[in-house]
Homo-oligomer: A and B are copies of this chain.
Amino acid sequence: MTRTIREPLSRSRVLAAAVALADAEGVEALTMRRLAVALDVRAMSLYHYLPAKQALLDGVVETVLAETVLGDPGLGDPVLAENDGAPTGPGPEGTGTGSGDWRGVLRQRFLAARQVTLRHPWLPGLLSSRSNVPPVLFAYYDRIVGTLVDAGFSYHLAHRALHAFGSLPLGFVQEIFRPDPVGGTGPEDTAEADLAAMASALPHLTAMVAAEVHDATDPTLGWCDSQTEFEFTVDLLLNGLERLRTGSGE
């Protein structure tokens, strides 16, 4: 009698395979049936570990968030403290617990979260489609509020900061102009005639691109460094909040 080599299924093994499948072929390929064949099993077996597709997706999000920075609590020293704005010293009511540089701390967390999103590009879309907030996120946001309050923020301003951050703590912003729409009309489809037409119809956008492009030859919206832009946005919000914290109250 040949003993089967295949190790038994388990919830975590199913979820790991689901993440791998989404990474390899995109979320739209993540179906119960295709996931089953990836696990060398029939589709119905999955229902012993995940009650439904919804639970599968919830588990996938949870898995990805847990495998990353959002999981470990401390993570330690804010090394990269290169803020161009205000000095980094503790605010008027800084508790002096060593986290006076709240901007450096949050900045580092947001940038770390961005690495997660870069590894799993489907995460933002999946996250926003979920109706339930993944439990890990509560802990993550609790730490953010803690950091703010420790730095002297009122709860009210901390609350507003949370809203202003939007999806930045999760490492992404809503991108309107995708760098390279998969399967969409690429730059090669834009003929010279269309380009001229665009220049007259969209004078400011074309002028902006022309001003920004120096050595790059690609005349599309895919030329900018999204990492730099992400950091700019983070600092813009962080510096604005710092002004409100130290400034006229609010």
Residues of A that sit less than 8 Å from B by CB: 84, 124-125, 127-129, 131-133, 137-139, 141-143, 145-146, 149, 154-156, 158-160, 163-164, 166-167, 169-170, 172-178, 181-185, 198, 201-205, 207-208, 211-212, 224, 226, 229-230, 232-233, 236-237, 239-241, 244, 250
Contacts and interface: CB of A to CB of B under 8 A. Distances in A.
A159 B128 contact: no
B229 A163 contact: yes
Given A202-B139, A204-B145, A132 B174 contact: no
Given A166-B166, A167-B174, A207-B155, A241 B233 contact: no
A139 B200 CA distance: 11
Given A181-B132, A212-B156, A164 B202 contact: no
Nearest to A84: B250
Given A156-B212, A160-B229, A166-B173, A204 B146 contact: yes
A133 B176 contact: yes
Contact of A224 (B146, B159, B203, B226): B159
Contact of A184 (B131, B149, B154, B155): B131
A176 B167 CA distance: 7
A232 B156 contact: no
Given A132-B181, A139-B201, A145 B208 contact: yes
Contacts of A146: 203-204
A198 B241 CA distance: 28
Give the most central of A138, A167, A208: most B CB within 10 Å: A208
Given A145-B205, A239-B240, A137 B176 contact: yes
Contacts of A176: 127, 133, 137, 141, 166-167, 169-170
A156 to B, nearest CB: 7
Given A128-B125, A176-B167, A205 B160 contact: no
A143 B164 CA distance: 24
